[in-house]
Amino acid sequence: MKTRIFLPLVAAGFTAGLLAVSGCKTTVNSVENAQKEGQRQMVSDSRVITDGSLAKKVSIVGVNQSMTPGGFLKVQVELLNKTRSYQAFNYRFEWFDANGMQMDSLSPAVIPSTIEGKESKFISAVAPTAACKDFRLKLVEN
């Protein structure tokens, strides 16, 4: 009697597991020029990790910055999905002036984003004013 009840359950679970595995495991192959023309101006960063689970999945590879023609700070952060699964996360940039005061003129834009398994991805933002000198990027797991 027990076997009659459990067998369909086990079969259903196995099928669901297979579907989940096949649906989420997608990794990315890429190619790029080996001799780079552009030189990234890398920024030494300090990191605060409170969500170890997210850090294990979507890690920060490096941060570089440049100035726009209008004199605004532009920041680019390279992220790497260390897992083989598609990941969804949210991010938000915060900006600070020379005195360390926060300079967000609009409501903070929390941007939803996704990254494929083993994919390297860049996210960037431009400071809202030329007075912004520093930044902070916040990442939240979805």
Binding region for another protein (CB under 8 A): 1-2, 5-6, 68-70, 72, 74, 88, 90, 105-112, 125-126, 128-130, 140, 142
Query: Which among 123, 125, 130, 127 is positioned nearest to 104, based on CA atoms?
Result: 127
- What is the smallest separation between the CB atom of 60 and another protein, expressed in angstroms? 19
Give me the least distance between CB of 16 and another protein, in Å please. 16
Q: Which is nearer to another protein, 76 or 120 (CB)?
A: 76
Report in angstroms how near the CB of residue 131 gets to another protein at its nearest: 9
The C-alpha atoms of residue 96 and residue 129 are separated, in whole angstroms, by 10
Nearer to another protein, 21 or 140 (CB): 140
Closer CB to another protein, residue 18 or residue 130?
130
**Measured between alpha carbons, how far is 51 from 138 in angstroms, rounded to an integer?**
11
**What are the backbone angles phi and psi of residue 95, rounded to the nearest 5°?**
-125, 150
Query: Would you say 41 or 68 has its CB closer to another protein?
Result: 68
CB of 30 to another protein, least distance (A): 23
Taking the C-alpha atoms of residue 56 and residue 50, their distance in angstroms, rounded to an integer, is 11
**58-67/73-81 β-pairing:** antiparallel
